[in-house]
């Protein structure tokens, strides 16, 4: 008799009104998250390519020389040595250095830029909750941006940008995993009370 009562209480059909409400909340959350993700992607594209496209030759980053062959300019915009720019900016971080702010913006900006990606991808795509799959996706995305920048001569292809962007994305991914672990523990604790 007691088991029958328990089964009735735990049965989803015992709460006919709560299920559609839960689905509606989930749908609203999915739409809101998807919209925020699209907005975030536009921000990433603007910060990496947009400023250069909008301002053209007046852009601070747009250094195209008409009388220099295209592939020569492409080669000059590639920085393949890991940590060379990171260490260069790190040496400028002391307060006495006049370029301290520029160095901080470059280092922190590249870290923060892909931090939200570490949250958005696993939230929107459950298959991205596996670290290896997530890493491959993020590295490919960063490479696409870096290659586009250098081939369009709108920026440089810098291995240090990839390192910083990827590190930022992994930090976001770890934050998501911690939050998700706490959420699952909280729900598991609630379910054991009944």
pLDDT tens for each residue of 7-30:
444 444 444 445 567 778 888 888
pLDDT at 188: 73
pTM (two decimals): 0.81
pLDDT at 5: 45
pLDDT at 42: 94
Distance CA 153, CA 63 (A): 8
pLDDT at 54: 72
> Which stretch of 39-43, 118-122, 189-193 has the lowest confidence by average pLDDT?
189-193
Per-residue pLDDT reduced to its tens digit, 146-177: 999 999 888 889 999 999 999 999 999 999 99
pLDDT at 148: 92
| pLDDT interval class at 2 (50, 70, 90) | very low
Q: What is the DSSP string of the chain?
A: -HHHHHHHHHSGGG-TTHHHHHHHHHHHHHHHHHHHHHHHHHHHHIIIIIHHHHHGGGSSS----TTS-HHHHHHHTEE-STTHHHHHHHHT-STT-TTHHHHHHHHHHHHHHTTTHHHHHHHH-GGGGSHHHHHHHHHHHHHHHHHHHHHTTSS-EEHHHHHHHHHHHHHHHHHHHHHHHHHHHHHHHHHHT-
> 78-79 and 157-158 as β-strands: parallel, antiparallel, unpaired?
parallel
pLDDT at 14: 44
pLDDT at 19: 58
Per-residue pLDDT reduced to its tens digit, 49-98: 886 677 665 555 556 667 889 899 899 989 999 999 999 999 999 988 88
Site of tokens 């919209």: 35
Phi/psi of residue 94, nearest 5 degrees? -55, 150
CA distances from 193 to 26, 36, 184, 189 (A): 24, 36, 15, 7
Mean pLDDT over 94-113 rounds to 92
């Amino acid at each position: 008799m007691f088991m029958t009562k328990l089964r009735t209480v735990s049965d989803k059909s015992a709460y006919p009104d709560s299920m559609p409400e839960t689905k509606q909340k989930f749908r609203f959350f999915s739409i809101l998250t998807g919209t925020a993700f699209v907005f975030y992607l536009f921000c990433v594209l603007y910060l990496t390519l947009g400023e250069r496209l909008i301002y053209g030759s007046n852009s601070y980053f747009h250094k195209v020389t008409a009388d220099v062959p295209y592939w020569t300019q492409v080669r000059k915009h590639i920085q393949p040595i890991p940590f060379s720019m990171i260490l260069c900016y790190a040496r400028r971080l002391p307060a006495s250095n006049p370029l301290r702010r520029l160095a901080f913006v470059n280092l922190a900006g590249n870290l923060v830029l892909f931090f939200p990606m570490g949250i958005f991808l696993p939230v929107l795509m459950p298959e991205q909750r596996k670290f290896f799959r997530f890493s491959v996706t993020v590295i490919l995305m960063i490479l696409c941006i870096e290659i586009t920048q250098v081939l369009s001569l709108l920026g440089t292809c810098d291995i240090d940008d990839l390192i910083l962007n990827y590190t930022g994305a992994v930090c976001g991914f770890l934050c998501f995993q911690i939050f998700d672990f706490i959420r699952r523990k909280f729900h598991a604790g609630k379910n054991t009370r009944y």
